[in-house]
Chain A
């Protein structure tokens, strides 16, 4: 959108979808507190497995252009996700004898490389003087109001994405990236006329709403059962333990004031960041008017520090650079980077839970065919995927 001169619209749509998405997540959180203690234990390895299968199948629906290239990109993402310890046997796979690869490739440098660095390489290689190709703020199309209105003009998309974000947020182990990608996939699947990847504002609304709605969802298992939904809630649980606060029944009954204090702080912090984001939309949009030769160094330096800071490893900055080159070539030649990263994120979840489900089933500890939550998820997968595949085939 920035390249089409619509940076103002994109940024304001992003901030609005974030604020409203987080509000949706908080409302669901408040409404579901009484039910959650009964719901979360129903989610086990078979449900995780089905969720990851849902995500992997969704890749097939977001592929544009060559289907073989899209599927191959997803296969490569899966293959890269297998690097490191086997979750079942703890055998080392594809580490080439290096210590660095034993934990697998970290998602952060891969993401920074595939998206940030690849875009920087493209900017450096292009003949454009600015990102938008314009030099004055007056030349930019769109406005803050357009972006905010775009969210209200797509209520179904917004609601669907927020629901996806909240549900994904509730499932321990799935992060905001999964929520955003699943919501994006659903947006592409349900919007045949969309021009995703070419400046469609709906491609901004869906992941942003889902990403922030997941915050409310992720607090549910954390507060009700003491199960961290992601890294942030794991830290929260650690802090609660330091203060002698036990999540679970206590927080759901006598500790409700503290529970609501946490919920309101989540609500206000999300709104504060969105309002602050809206306030700086214009200065941020001006970045698309800055000469690319002046823009590239700070982006590169920040991306490099970001890649390093995640694990404090210098190797990560080289990984980010390598994936930057890979991402640039993939983009140039029409290979789906989204399919690659979706498979990379979902691969470990799929493999670990496939093994667990099979083992537990063989041991007689679970019966997949008698689990209502698994059957419901399986039905959801069939009902959402089959019509899409049929539609694609007919098209």
Chain B
């Protein structure tokens, strides 16, 4: 994890906390008492953590990582060559791609409903990410379709959500 990523994440948490702090002051006197007791020290702690991340002096993190790495490393293993590790942007790109792929499922389920959405997701994943043959990909999608139908109809006994598209197309 790069220093920039640590700073960005802590800053985002601090921004969220400050927003909550502002909202807390808008509450009635009796409703805001306990949230204030939590949110003020929290903002201070996050501010302090942000400073440590900014300066690159997070002793807990560094010490913990070092100890964990030492404990994990087999005695016979040669030291890891840092130059052999992939560049940070490779990891970032892989993570972003994974998140985008995973976001596809809630998106498809919301737009196409729970019957078609997951099946289409499985088909796209199997072909696009898994590199499966078309026969396997279509079989997996069909199994998902049948599985979801059975799950909702017999186990949950609830109507399958139809999705925004079908709702819009319905007269």
Contact = CB atoms under 8 A, between A and B. Distances in A.
A66 B39 contact: no
B102 A324 contact: yes
Interface string A284-326: 0000000101101110110011001100101001101100110
A252 to B, nearest CB: 36
Interface of B: 1, 5-6, 9, 13, 17, 20, 23-24, 27-28, 30-31, 34-35, 38-39, 41-42, 45-46, 48-49, 52, 58-61, 64-65, 68, 71-72, 91, 94-95, 97-99, 101-103, 105-106, 109-110, 114, 118, 121-122, 125-126, 129-132, 140, 144, 148, 151, 156, 158, 161
A68 interface: yes
Interface stretch (A24-32, A38-46, A89-97, A375-383): A89-97
Report whether over half of chain A's contact residues are helix, strand or loop; otherwise say mixed: helix
B34 A124 contact: no
Contacts of B28: 89, 91
Contacts of B1: 332-333
Interface string A53-92: 0000000000011111101100110110010001011010
- Which of A69, A88, A89, A294 has the most B CB atoms < 10 Å from its CB? A69
A356 interface: no
A36 interface: no
Contacts of A82: 34-35, 38
B121 A334 contact: no
Given A72-B49, A79-B38, A93-B35, A309 B13 contact: no
B122 A297 contact: yes
A352 to B, nearest CB: 10
B134 to A, nearest CB: 15
A328 B103 CA distance: 14
B153 to A, nearest CB: 13
Contacts of B151: 305
A395 to B, nearest CB: 12
A124 B101 contact: yes
Contacts, number: 154
Given A324-B102, A332-B1, 4 more contacts: A68-B48, A94-B23, A293-B125, A301-B118
29 contacts: A64-B64, A65-B61, A65-B64, A66-B64, A68-B45, A75-B39, A75-B42, A82-B34, A82-B35, A82-B38, A88-B30, A93-B24, A117-B102, A121-B102, A124-B97, A126-B94, A297-B121, A300-B105, A301-B144, A301-B148, A304-B105, A305-B148, A308-B114, A308-B161, A309-B156, A309-B158, A321-B106, A328-B95, A328-B99
A229 interface: no
Contact of A124 (B61, B102, B118, B140): B102
A291 B109 CA distance: 24
Contact of B126 (A68, A75, A297): A297
A186 B53 CA distance: 31
Contacts of B101: 124
